[in-house]
Structure 1
C-alpha cells in the first residue's frame, strides 16, 4: 500500500524551505493546480504542500489529524536542525523499547510531525 500525504501551511515558501532543508525532499510547484501547490517526492512516498484553507489550530490544542513520522539516520542531529529552522519540540525524544527513538515536533506552520531513528537497543 502506498501513502500520499499533504501538509497544510500558512507560509508556503517558509514551509518549503523548512522541509527541503531538514529532509532533503524534492519539491516543485505544480502548475496544473489552481492554487499554490508543491509536489513532494521523498523517495518512497509522495505528497503535497499547500496553503492552509482555514485558520490553523491553536498551539497546545490536541491534534485532530493523522500524524506522519519520518525515519532519520540521526535523531539528535535532525532534531537540532528542526529547532534551528524555527521548529519546536512537541514531545521530547523517548525510546520505543527495542525498536527506535521517537519524538514529535511542531513545524513553522503549527503542524505536528514525528521523527524516529531505528535502534534495536533503544531503552534497553
Structure 2
C-alpha cells in the first residue's frame, strides 16, 4: 500500500509559502535546503508525516505533482519503465529524509516516487 502526497512548484518559495499560509491556514516548515514541508490541517508540521511540500520549479516540476510513497524507489521505478512510463532522473537522496525519483506515467503525467528513511538504514 502506498500513501499519496503532493508537491507544488514555486518560482519564489518565500512568496508561495506565505500565500498558502495566509489563504488556507497551512502550517509550513522550511528545510535546510530549497524545500518547504506543509501540513494542511493547521497542526505543526511533522517532517515524517507532512501532507506535501513546496519546491522550486524545475524542468520536471512545472505543475502540481503527486508524491507516491513506496517501499523501494528502485523497484517501483523499474515497474514504471516496464509499464511504459519514463524515468526522468536518477534516484536522489534528500537529506536524512529519504529518496526521490521523478517519473512520467504512461500518459505523460509527472509523478515523484518517495522512499522514506524511517530508521536511517535505507540503502542508497
TM bin, normalised by shorter chain, reads 0.3 to 0.5
TM-score by length of 2: 0.46
TM-score by length of 1: 0.46
